[in-house]
A = this chain, B = another copy of it.
Amino acid sequence: MSGKRSLLERLAAGPVIGDGGFIFALEKRGYVKAGPWTPEATVEHPEAVRQLHREFLRAGSDVMQAFTFYASEDKLTDRGNTAGKKIGVAAINREAAKIAKEVAAEGDALTLGSLSQCPSYLEGKGEAKVKSEFRKQVEVFTKEGLDFLLCEYFEHVEEIQWAIQVCKESGKTVAATMCIGPEGDMHGVSAAECAIRMARSGADLVGVNCHYDPFVALETMRRMKQGLDAAGLKPYLMMQPVAYHTPDAGKQGFIDLPEFPFALEGRIATRWDMHRYAREAFELGVRYIGGCCGFEPYHIRAIAEELSAERGGKMPQGSIKHDMWGGGLTMHTKPWVRARASREYWENLKPASGRPYCPGMSEPDNWAEKKKGHM
């Protein structure tokens, strides 16, 4: 690891590309259970976790994010979850770290350990208890020598501030992303104010992850940036949104859409959506650009391809099997398919759903104030 440039050095040089969503990808592959969404696969099926890491590395990810989402002890034993007892918080986090390091070493990638919101916070157990949950994970991350830490998927700014504080104890670089939208956190704190508080708590990178599609998330980032600029704060900006189109999501994001989590297919973004996302994020000043639920390796590759010039012409390994903008179609048998081998074609296409009995948007459940009138 000694020779690797650090995260901050890389950010100073240009955009850093994150990875995609392990939980959702591994659910589809058969290794994660929807509902609890915990990562015991690191112990149960390390080969599956390792392969997914490799695919993201190949797609251009600069960071191997250890698969420690929701791996706090209280979550691993919550609502009948047996992973916490049978396997244990330490083992799950440790194996995650080992796999991340192993694959990172196959390229030039950094590693990170992440904390997410924990049941103890929602149950009102208080700062000391919540921080102790976080420390159990951070200890492993430190011991395993992961390169930096990430607090991600927090709905309340108060809790993420505690998480940042625990992470800072390690002396490592700390990134912090909340799963909020343009309207701010669940306690009514605005997106701008959330960003300010995360930065003031010591986060070196600040932004959002999960819950919204890239374009809604960009609106949240815009508000965060305005707040940070106004407060004179200059953390790096980071975002890892979901790969599902969510123009109709409400305050809690895609969780509340009726399609969550087993009928989201129609909302999956194309690689071309990701080109646009990468470009718009970069132009806004975001420097850590990755994905969350729904991001598959080819989505990450699209980001890497779009930002190739900004990254010194570097192309992902996986582009050996992908000519930009559909170029591979020139090798197709049918002339009218070969005619689709152009940027203009794919950028202008409005893809049909093949589901004429289904609508374009849904009304979220739990919509405090159901949107009326427009049907």
A interface residue numbers (CB < 8 A to B): 27-36, 47-48, 51, 54-55, 58-59, 78-81, 119, 122, 213-215, 218, 244-248, 252, 255-273, 276-277, 280, 296-298, 301, 317-318, 321-323, 326-334, 336-337, 339-341, 346, 349-363, 365-366, 372-375
Chain B neighbourhood of A28, CB < 8 A? 296-298
Chain B neighbourhood of A337, CB < 8 A? 255, 260, 365
In the complex, A255 Cα to B271 Cα: how many Å? 18
- What is the distance, in angstroms, from A340's C-beta to the closest C-beta of chain B? 8
Find out whether the CB atom of B354 lies under 8 angstroms from the CB atom of A34.
no
Number of copies of this chain that the complex holds: 4
Chain B neighbourhood of A372, CB < 8 A? 215, 276, 280
Chain B neighbourhood of A34, CB < 8 A? 322, 326, 328-329
Find out whether the CB atom of A374 lies under 8 angstroms from the CB atom of B353.
no
Find out whether the CB atom of A374 lies under 8 angstroms from the CB atom of B357.
yes
**A355 with B375: in contact, given A47-B51, A59-B30, A263-B272 (CB under 8 Å)?**
yes
**A359 with B365: in contact, given A255-B337, A328-B33 (CB under 8 Å)?**
no
In the complex, A175 Cα to B326 Cα: how many Å? 34
Partner of A245, one of B32, B273, B301, B353: B353
Find out whether the CB atom of B355 lies under 8 angstroms from the CB atom of A360.
yes
- What is the distance, in angstroms, from A145's C-beta to the closest C-beta of chain B? 26
Pick 9 A–B contacts, CB within 8 A, sort by A: A30-B297, A33-B322, A33-B328, A81-B331, A266-B351, A267-B351, A267-B354, A280-B372, A352-B362
Find out whether the CB atom of A352 lies under 8 angstroms from the CB atom of B322.
no
**A35 with B352: in contact, given A280-B373, A373-B276 (CB under 8 Å)?**
no
- What is the distance, in angstroms, from A308's C-beta to the closest C-beta of chain B? 16
Partner of A258, one of B326, B334, B349: B349
In the complex, A256 Cα to B355 Cα: how many Å? 17
Q: Quick one: which of A259, A266, A336, A354 has the most chain B CB within 10 A?
A: A354
Shortest beta-carbon contacts, A-B, top 10 = A215-B373, A35-B328, A245-B354, A30-B318, A356-B360, A356-B356, A267-B354, A360-B360, A265-B268, A352-B362
- What is the distance, in angstroms, from A41's C-beta to the closest C-beta of chain B? 8
In the complex, A31 Cα to B298 Cα: how many Å? 10
Find out whether the CB atom of A362 lies under 8 angstroms from the CB atom of B373.
no
Find out whether the CB atom of A248 lies under 8 angstroms from the CB atom of B322.
no
**A346 with B262: in contact, given A245-B354, A352-B248, A374-B356 (CB under 8 Å)?**
yes
In the complex, A27 Cα to B245 Cα: how many Å? 22
- What is the distance, in angstroms, from A242's C-beta to the closest C-beta of chain B? 11
- What is the distance, in angstroms, from A239's C-beta to the closest C-beta of chain B? 13
